[in-house]
Structure 1
Amino acid sequence: MPCIAVNSNPQKRKLRSHVVASEASIPSPCKRKLPRRCNNASLLTSPTENDVISIPCGHKQAESDNVAAKLERDYKDDEQLRAVKEKLHVSTEPSRIACREDEKNMVLEFCEACVEQEKAGSLYICGCPGTGKSLTMERVKGLLLNWATEFTSLKWWFGGGELSLTLPYVWLILADELDYLITKDRAVLHDLFMLTTLPFSRFILIGVANAIDLADRFLPRLASLNCKPFVVTFRAYSKDQILRILQERLSELPYSVFQPQALELCARKVAAACGDMRKALCICRSAVEMLEAEIRESTSNSNTSLEEKASSELKTAITSVYMMKHEFDTVRIDHMALSLSKTYRSPVVDTIQSLPLYQQIVLCSSMKHFCGTKKDTILGELYKSYTSICKSSQIQPAGFLEFSDMCRVLNDQGLIKLGQSREDKLKRVTLKVDEADITFALQGIRFFQNCLQ
């Protein structure tokens, strides 16, 4: 046994020295592995033993550097999108108030005239929600405070204490959301406006509310006492005004996130619907969140694919991801359209999407049956259309009794109108919802993609 061990050791040393001395002799497993490592490393020179060990380490270092750079880009993207959402938040006060210069000047001139003449007065600011009333008044309050330093007779009162009417001051009272002071006998609101009619009164009352006819409806006695407040109306924002406000908010950032067409689409839709600037800001924020989710999903998918790729394909994959992020890191029209559809979609769409599949098929068959000039039909004819759609989709249609029950459910929900008849097959059926709402509600379901074409 010791002799066998002694004889085996020299034989191994002899084989190794023989391989090193003559490369053209018997190929060893190490000889076959070296070129394969060299090809993966894209090296032209012949590798040594040290090269074989250092190549994987170089790959790991390059891969870790790429991952670190990619994580840094993702961190910057998250910070940029977070800054955009903060700029578009309704609580973020812009650096300047756009498209409300005329209304702001009217309020300023009214207050300055009352202070200079030392007389009382009342002003009522009204307008639809989201038209900049409260924001403009906050800015007017600051401007008046700076202007009043030249007039020591101006004092502000925001509540929380008793008023000293004997002091020779001009008191400016700002009452936002004035309609919350409407009581059953309307005494609080009436007494508040009557402060400006008292002898030697030095009150300037500015009330802000949404109702345009609040003074006429709830304070009819003010007109008879010749103390009806001066009214300043904030009209709904137009398309150009909404687009200008959005652009001014985003211009404070050193990078661009929205496509110009996406912002114009949002401005047109909001101006046509209500002109509410707060709603436009919420829609834009929702579109940014969709872009953020899309980037996060593409990044996770690219990370998964990069782990499965070989080292020779690593640079190409990272380059494609980098180009994709720089090309598509903007809110596009499809993002904005989806955000608008979620905001302004009809409640009928939610009702249709919550229906079971068979009831949705009945509604879809009704829409296809009434396509054109036909306004109503009998239940028997509608059942034929229903069965044809089911057979074309290779599903088993329900029986006529079950079909009649589903039509009664749709009638109770106000989607169709089912007439009266002794026989169910002769009942008249009329579609009560718009075909566009049915198409919009069902277009995202794979089953109805062929039926809606």
Structure 2
Amino acid sequence: MTAITRANQCKVESVMETNSPKRKLRSSSVQRQQSPVSTPVNWKSPRRCLNSSPKSPPESDGKAVNGGFSNSLTSPIRCLLKDLIVKPDWNPKDTEHVKTAKEALHISTAPTTIMCREDEQNKIFNFCKASVEQEKAGSLYVCGCPGTGKSLSMEKVKDQLAAWAAQSGLQLPDILSINCTSLANTSDIFTKIMGETQPKKKRNGSLTPLQHLRRLYSQKAESSCMKMKLIIADELDYLITKDKAVLHDLFMLTTFPFSRCILIGIANAIDLADRFLPRLQALNCKPQVVTYRAYSKEQILKILQQRLTGLPFVVFHSQALELCARKVAAVSGDMRKALCVCRNAIELLEAEIKASSKEQNHDDACDTPAPPELVKRSESQIVRLDHMAVALSKTFKSPAVETIQSLPQHQQIILCSVVKLVRGGKKDTTIGELNKSYMDICKSTLIPPVGSLELSNMFTVLNDQGLLKLGQSRDNKMRRVLLKVDEADVTFALQGIRFFRNCLAVN
């Protein structure tokens, strides 16, 4: 009897432990609710029922577990894979397809967001924002290589500034955008600024526009009733004169005690502020500088993919885009060049499709089968690696490239030296500077330099070939040397040689 009593007591305790809320687990809650004599549950496979959870009973609709199975279908990775799978290849025979693809890759097509330039854009916006909030004049110099997004960033900054002013309730400054290449004379920039600032009927006819602006920004009574003015001067290096007076006077407009002028200058020359505006530094009014570096391979590839994402079809093979990004980054980092190369590659595919269709029609008429290679190529409707390679060669390999590649080594070193000296927007150099750069390269690479007479003869040969232009001077060392070919041609011609690739590397 005692053994039977103890056994019954153990059963009671086990039942109490089972029903205890402290030991209740979510994973076994369904099993505890089932009767001990119920039949086993047959679980549904997730492949059989997409709307149910793998751990749901047959009668469940799948919404009780983790919010339902439908949430997992909308994950970013699944959506991306779905887009990649569903996106069909395009039809290069369809004119609308070709037009859409080319428009997406055109320079004039501005992207909705500027990628890889967020930091630079924020610096410019914060500068403008602080100047408007404090109603304080100031100057900013935006510089960088061509095709690095300087002008495009300014358009986005103007939109940001307008949205911020409307949200904060502050008065938006008048914005004047000037492309300095459109000016007949460099001093006409002051006429444009004056025309936007004050009507002609209120001006003093005896004063020049520059004098009137100086007077206007020096008197509190006249300037206090004026709005802040944001002046964006693109291609600023076109204002460089012999005495640099125009550039100096333009930046000085922001230094007057009651100036309402916010000036942003944009140019390619990285060291323009140091070379042409030394007096501004002495007056403690040197502009702030924002530098745009050349795009890297990863950045170019990212921007190309961004532009192509919105297309409803696949245009390029992934390796073709990678080749374009790698080559353009190695030569110049110019995004406009990359877009141009991609458009040229599309045109090459168009030409190939037309040629193959003509040959196929001819073969059909003659009842002869088309070659297997032709059939295979006609089936591939996207831009391949070979299309991109030809487009790159046509874009960068000019006749000058072949000439440079056939030169003797020391003449190539001279061209390499010129490129290093004129990099950053400088237009020319001198024979003396070039001699020193040539000797430095030879010394660093342990190459015996040639004599001064032979070196002078090499300058003459390069001048005769149209690669350099030598100026006139009584002192031979002061003769000006101008590079007559594109820097990108020199870089492209010599990039296959490690020695020159290291010499031309930007520090």
Q: Please give the range of the TM-score, normalised by the shorter of the 2 chains.
A: 0.5 to 0.7
- Equivalence for 1:303: 361
Q: Percent identity?
A: 62
Is the contact between residue 254 and residue 262 of structure 2 (CA under 8 Å) also seen in structure 1?
A: yes
- Equivalence for 2:197: 163
- Equivalence for 2:247: 189
> Where in structure 2 are there 5+ consecutive unaligned residues?
1-89, 178-191, 199-215, 217-222, 406-463, 467-491, 497-507
The correspondence for 1:328, drawn from 376, 380, 400, is: 380
- Equivalence for 1:248: 306
Find the aligned partners of 1:208 and 1:264 in 2 and give their Cα distance.
30
- Bigger mean CA offset, 291-300 vs 166-175: 166-175
Residue 74 and residue 322 in structure 1: after superposition, are their counterparts in 2 closer, same or farther (change >3 A)? farther
Deviation at 1:273, TM superposition (A): 1.2
Find the aligned partners of 1:131 and 1:221 in 2 and give their Cα distance.
29
Q: How many residues align?
A: 282
Is the contact between residue 114 and residue 121 of structure 1 (CA under 8 Å) also seen in structure 2?
A: yes
Residue 260 and residue 329 in structure 1: after superposition, are their counterparts in 2 closer, same or farther (change >3 A)? same
Find the aligned partners of 1:309 and 1:346 in 2 and give their Cα distance.
42
Find the aligned partners of 1:74 and 1:197 in 2 and give their Cα distance.
59
Q: Helix, strand or coil for the counterpart of 1:131? A: coil
Q: Helix, strand or coil for the counterpart of 2:154? A: helix
- Equivalence for 1:278: 336
Question: Does 1:84 pair with 2:101?
Answer: yes
Deviation at 1:303, TM superposition (A): 2.1
Is the contact between residue 91 and residue 97 of structure 2 (CA under 8 Å) also seen in structure 1?
A: no
- Equivalence for 1:338: 390
Deviation at 1:244, TM superposition (A): 0.2
Question: Does 1:96 pair with 2:113?
Answer: yes
- 1:15-414 to 2 correspondence within 5 Å? 77-149=94-166, 150-152=169-171, 154-158=173-177, 159=192, 161-164=195-198, 165=216, 166=223, 167-309=225-367, 325=378, 327-345=379-397, 347=399, 350=402
Is the contact between residue 92 and residue 381 of structure 2 (CA under 8 Å) also seen in structure 1?
A: no
Amino acid of the structure 2 residue aligned with 1:292: E
Find the aligned partners of 2:392 and 2:92 in 1 and give their Cα distance.
28
Is the contact between residue 317 and residue 384 of structure 2 (CA under 8 Å) also seen in structure 1?
A: yes
- Could you give the per-residue CA deviations for residues 96-121 of structure 1, whole angstroms, max 9, x where no partner exists? 21111111111111110111111111
Find the aligned partners of 2:265 and 2:155 in 1 and give their Cα distance.
13
Structure with the larger helix share: 1
Is the contact between residue 193 and residue 205 of structure 1 (CA under 8 Å) also seen in structure 2?
A: yes
Q: Helix, strand or coil for the counterpart of 1:236? A: coil
Q: Helix, strand or coil for the counterpart of 1:231? A: strand
Find the aligned partners of 2:288 and 2:401 in 1 and give their Cα distance.
44
Find the aligned partners of 2:92 and 2:280 in 1 and give their Cα distance.
60
Q: Helix, strand or coil for the counterpart of 1:80? A: helix
Q: Helix, strand or coil for the counterpart of 1:89? A: coil
Residue 233 and residue 351 in structure 1: after superposition, are their counterparts in 2 closer, same or farther (change >3 A)? closer
Find the aligned partners of 2:323 and 2:404 in 1 and give their Cα distance.
27
Find the aligned partners of 2:147 and 2:293 in 1 and give their Cα distance.
10
Report the TM-score when normalising by structure 2.
0.51
> Where in structure 1 are there 5+ consecutive unaligned residues?
1-72, 354-411, 415-435, 441-453
Is the contact between residue 148 and residue 154 of structure 1 (CA under 8 Å) also seen in structure 2?
A: no
Find the aligned partners of 2:360 and 2:95 in 1 and give their Cα distance.
17
Find the aligned partners of 2:365 and 2:162 in 1 and give their Cα distance.
62
Amino acid of the structure 1 residue aligned with 2:176: W
Find the aligned partners of 2:391 and 2:117 in 1 and give their Cα distance.
27
Amino acid of the structure 2 residue aligned with 1:152: Q
Deviation at 1:245, TM superposition (A): 0.3
Is the contact between residue 125 and residue 133 of structure 1 (CA under 8 Å) also seen in structure 2?
A: yes
Amino acid of the structure 2 residue aligned with 1:229: P
- Equivalence for 1:38: none
Residue 180 and residue 350 in structure 1: after superposition, are their counterparts in 2 closer, same or farther (change >3 A)? same
Deviation at 1:79, TM superposition (A): 2.1
Amino acid of the structure 2 residue aligned with 1:244: K
Deviation at 1:171, TM superposition (A): 1.0
Is the contact between residue 178 and residue 209 of structure 1 (CA under 8 Å) also seen in structure 2?
A: yes
Deviation at 1:348, TM superposition (A): 5.5
- Max Rg structure: 1
Amino acid of the structure 2 residue aligned with 1:273: V
Find the aligned partners of 2:404 and 2:242 in 1 and give their Cα distance.
42
Report the TM-score when normalising by structure 1.
0.57
Root mean square deviation, CA, Å: 3.2
Residue 331 and residue 177 in structure 1: after superposition, are their counterparts in 2 closer, same or farther (change >3 A)? same
Residue 348 and residue 182 in structure 1: after superposition, are their counterparts in 2 closer, same or farther (change >3 A)? closer
